[in-house]
Chains A and B, each alone.
Chain A
Amino acid sequence: MIGTVAKQEWRLLKADRTLAAVVVLMAAMVGYSLYNGSSWVAFQRQTLGAAETEQAERKGKLLKTLKGIEEGRIEVKGTQDPRSAASIGGNSSAPYLAMPPAPLATLAVGQSDLYPYYFKLNLRSKQAILANDEIENPTNLLAGRFDLAFVLVYLFPLVALALGYNLISSEREQGTLALAMSQPLTMREMVTGKIVLRGGLLLGLVVLFTFAGALLTGVDLGSSTVWLRLGLWVSLMALYTGFWFGLAVLVNSYQTSSATNALTLAGAWLGLVLVLPSVANLVATSMYPVPSRVEMVQAMRVAGKEAQSKGSMLLAKYMEDHPELMPAGEKPAADFTTLSYAVQMEVDKKVEPVLKRFDEQVEKQQAFVEGFKYLSPAILAQTAINDLAGTSLGRYQHFSRQVDGFFDAWKGYFLPKVFAKTKLGSGEVAGLPVYQFREETDGDILGRVGVVLAGMLVLSGAVLWVGYIRLRRVSIS
């Protein structure tokens, strides 16, 4: 019976202009947004390529110089010794640490326009490295981008509601409801047939267009992780579609007119997609205000000033702690470079608690917000799509931890050599560790997205369930 209803619905849709309109609209929106996403990915790849070239050239030049010095062809002149640890570690062989766009990055720009996707290492403070970011017009950042996630989270529900707002009401208004119910058909069967066809069609179109667009924009479908992500994405969209059609069923079960249904559903969309997230944000920022960066700047400044004033003392103390680093036959030489590194280390140590307090408060706010996401399917969908596209805050934190680790190892290797005034040779430089971004595992993704999917399942299930229970009480006349 459900099949018959679906078939009938299909005939009606075909005869109507609605189907053509939905197909064209979805194709245009999905196509344009994927084009937009892929051009942003291309921009990032190009930048990373340029950085890699520059890094290779710089290192090649350094190696040539070092070999020249070792073979006696080049003489070291002036104050800057290219063999010094400070110059090699801080500049001439300092690598770019890059996080390349994930395979499905075209799906969502997410937070990728806000957080840096590569860092140039140095031997100075982490703050100096982290503060670097991509140039962008603030007005554009404010507007956000027309990416697939925007289409799916904001606009897709409207199309779904346009297809579902009159599930029962139109039959009643046309006088066909009593006719249909006189057949061996229950109200639930009729509604199921309708939403399976309409929802299935819409979902099918989105999936079809997205896969086509992904292929056209060069997403590599060869790896299993891409298929896993695409599979999760399709499940997410199925549940999201289910939620909005469930809402349509629920509203229809109140037996109001089509016009009233449309207004109510539009109101629900407005509340869930636009108002609720910003109210939640407002609550979170009011309850866990992030301490001001201005205060942090001041704290760093004070620490810097104190450390500066006792710079030579710090160096002496450092040498006392590490006598093995004392350059042979020298007093602790208070030259500009070593002194500044001694000061830097002290500042880092002083500033650490301030930074920690800052990060903790941001994390608290984020943790608080995590709970909010279950209030609105739009927040859930956005979070999951960002995770699947690899543009979520989670992946940036994952990257940031790797940067931290590499930075500490890098400093651990070079700073003692800076203080000991060790000179490096071409062999050592050629053997320096190379950074390679470790992608998040499928388990990480599955863990984060799985929770979201479960939340979405509960929301969609609850709406559909209540709607279907109420269907029993819907009268025919």
Chain B
Amino acid sequence: MISQIAKKEMLEMRRDGRFQVASAIVLGLLLVSLGIGWQQYVSVNRQHEMARAETREQWLSQGKKNPHSAAHYGVYAFKPKSPLSLVDRGADQYTGVAVWLEAHKQNEFKYKPARDANTLARFGDLTASSVLQLLVPLLIILMSFSSFAGERESGTLRLLLSMGIAREKLALGKALGVAGGLGMLLVPAALIGSAALVLASDSGSFVANLPRLGWMTASYLLYFAAFVGISLTVSALAKSARLALVCLLGFWIFNGLAAPRLFSDVSRTVHRTPSSFAFSQRMDGELKKGFDGEALKKKVMAQYGVTSMEALPVNFLGISLKAGEDHGNEVYDKLYSELWDTFEAQNRLQQQGGVVAPLMAMRSVSMGLSGTDFAQFRDFSVAAEKYRRVLNDAMNDDLKNSPKTEGPYMADEKLWSKVPEFAYVMPEVNVVLGQQAWSLGLLVLWALGATGMAGWAATRRLRAE
């Protein structure tokens, strides 16, 4: 019985020209966006790989130099693109792509791709994620808004119920019908998406990304289940199919268009971001406080048991530079942690917006698993900064142990090659799941709650007219 109902639903969909056109458009957009996402990933990734090799080569071949001068020359770190960014570009367009790691200073990431984009970019990127998060729910609504309300209006609902069919079975059949229709669309898209991922990544990274892909698929299915549930609930409760459609479209607009902006406004009001001016003024103030040079001299002399600076067995310049770095690092750690904690608090609040708009939770999970959210940008920034410190410490250490001769001291490739190459590994999926616990929980709640509601509405609240 259930399968018969489901089959009938799918047959009706297939016969409905509007539904066919809508599905074809959605499928087409999904495939195009996957294709473009794949192409962008491949080209950006290649550039970054090349630049990474080049910056290392430049570092190694910088010739004879004073170590501190080499530290000033520094290296660049380029944010790698994660393979799953072909599904969801997330905040990638709005975070800088490169950071200069030099002496004394923790620099900001520069060159947000969005600043080089044309003015249409702000209307939204067409990515697989935007199709999945916005258009597929709309399709679900179109598929199911008249499931019950339409049958009631045409009088067939009374007929069906008079045949003695259990309402549970009717509800389940309808839900399966929608799921089947959706499956015809999503299964090929998922297969093609996975194929794109295989093509985009070398064998090792594909396997490494499989758990992320799995979790992502599961969370999108939860999101869709929530929408099927909501649509069926409204269709069962609404007086007419038209009213059901209006309510569902209203919810869709709130969920997809208004909620992201509203919650970002609210989060900004609750957790204030300082202006760049105030932030850098504060940074300068803190950095200027500096460290006590005389006290350091005394300490170092005591440490080496000498009474004059000339008698020191080591080069004091290296020690004082290191002390300067340490002071700077303390300031950077404090201020950047504060700033980034503010951003994360804002993002958490937005995730919690998933209580009323499932998109907020879905977007967060999708960006997180794609490796394109702020948390993973921060992870990379921290890793790059750690590397900057390793590099500077190596230079200052060498300077400290350099001979105290007349004339400038020069180091060469032997020292440069002692600094390991910067290697970054994306966080494990468990870390991401931890960050997304709120959102995942909300998605599960939405899926269970909405399908439960649909079951309740279809069995207890369904009137024949």
Contacts and interface: CB of A to CB of B under 8 A. Distances in A.
Interface of A: 36, 43, 46-47, 50-51, 54, 111, 114-115, 118, 131-146, 150, 154-155, 158, 258-259, 262-263, 266-267, 270, 274-275, 277-282, 284-286, 289-290, 292-298, 301-302, 305, 308-309, 358, 362, 365-366, 368-369, 372, 378-379, 382-383, 386, 392-393
Given A144-B264, A294-B78, A366-B118, 5 more contacts: A139-B91, A142-B260, A262-B242, A262-B245, A297-B111
Interface stretch (B181-189, B274-282, B297-305): B274-282
A274 B18 contact: no
B275 A134 contact: yes
A284 B29 contact: no
A267 B278 CA distance: 46
Contact of A138 (B33, B91, B121): B91
Given A258-B242, A294-B48, A362 B116 contact: yes
Contacts of A134: 275-276
B51 A155 contact: no
Interface string B50-70: 010011001000110000000
Contacts of A138: 91, 94-95, 343, 374, 377
A145 B266 CA distance: 11
A142 B94 contact: yes
Contacts of B114: 114, 141
B346 A140 contact: yes
B350 A286 contact: no
Interface stretch (B123-131, B157-165, B389-397, B451-459): B123-131
A282 B278 CA distance: 37
B270 interface: no
B62 A282 contact: no
Nearest to A304: B73
Nearest to B339: A135
For the complex of A and B, the 5 pairs showing the least CB-CB separation, nearest first, are A277-B123, A138-B91, A278-B126, A138-B94, A293-B111
Interface in B100-117: 110-117
- The interface centre, meaning the residue of A131, A267, A292, A378 with most chain B CB atoms within 10 A of its CB, is A292
B120 A158 contact: no
A142 B260 CA distance: 9
B279 A135 contact: yes
- The interface centre, meaning the residue of B90, B118, B124, B273 with most chain A CB atoms within 10 A of its CB, is B118
B265 A131 contact: no
Nearest to A279: B126
A344 B48 CA distance: 26
A273 B95 CA distance: 26
A294 B58 CA distance: 15
Contacts of A150: 261
A137 to B, nearest CB: 4
6 contacts: A266-B249, A281-B125, A282-B126, A284-B120, A290-B116, A358-B116
Contacts of A259: 241-242, 245
Decide if the interface of chain B is mainly helix, strand, loop or mixed.
helix
B156 interface: no
Contacts of B126: 275, 278-279, 281-282
A47 B121 contact: no
B277 A51 contact: yes
Nearest to A302: B58
Contact of A292 (B18, B29, B44, B374): B44
Contacts of A258: 242
B120 A297 contact: no
A292 B50 CA distance: 12
Contacts of A270: 138
B98 A146 contact: no
Contact of B276 (A132, A301, A305): A132
Contacts, number: 196
Interface residues of B, number: 82
B258 interface: yes
B51 A298 contact: yes
Nearest to A133: B276
A362 B114 CA distance: 11
B268 A278 contact: no
Nearest to A393: B119
B382 interface: no
B426 interface: no
A282 B130 CA distance: 13
Given A259-B245, A292-B44, A278 B120 contact: yes
A127 B357 CA distance: 41
B47 interface: yes
Contacts of A143: 260-261, 263-264, 350
Contacts of A155: 253, 257-258
A274 B98 contact: no
A54 B374 CA distance: 32
A36 B262 CA distance: 10
Given A146-B258, A301-B76, A365-B118, A293 B113 contact: yes
Nearest to A134: B276
Given A278-B123, A293-B98, A140 B268 contact: yes
Nearest to A369: B118
A290 B265 CA distance: 31
Contacts of B111: 131, 293, 296-297
B134 interface: yes
Contacts of B58: 301-302, 305
B247 interface: no
Contact of A115 (B90, B115, B242, B350): B115
A155 B254 CA distance: 10
A295 B261 contact: no
A49 to B, nearest CB: 10
B15 interface: no
Interface in B426-440: none
B137 to A, nearest CB: 12
Contact of B120 (A47, A290, A293, A369): A369
A311 B172 CA distance: 78
Interface in B14-43: 18, 22, 25, 29, 32-33, 36, 39, 43
Contacts of B124: 274, 277-278
B303 to A, nearest CB: 28
B347 interface: yes
A36 to B, nearest CB: 6
A447 to B, nearest CB: 17
A319 to B, nearest CB: 23
- The interface centre, meaning the residue of B120, B123, B278 with most chain A CB atoms within 10 A of its CB, is B120
B55 A301 contact: yes
B276 A144 contact: no
B151 interface: no
Given A258-B242, A281-B126, A297-B76, A135 B98 contact: no
A274 B48 CA distance: 32
A154 B51 CA distance: 41
Nearest to B51: A294
Contact of B51 (A136, A290, A295): A295
Contacts of B113: 293
A268 to B, nearest CB: 13
A136 B116 contact: no
A150 B33 CA distance: 24
A259 to B, nearest CB: 5
Contacts of B268: 137, 140
Contact of A293 (B25, B116, B263, B346): B116
Given A138-B377, A144-B122, A297 B98 contact: yes
A274 B123 contact: yes
B385 interface: no
Interface string B308-345: 00000000000000000000000000000001001100
B281 A294 contact: no
A139 B264 contact: yes
Interface in B209-224: none
Nearest to B272: A43
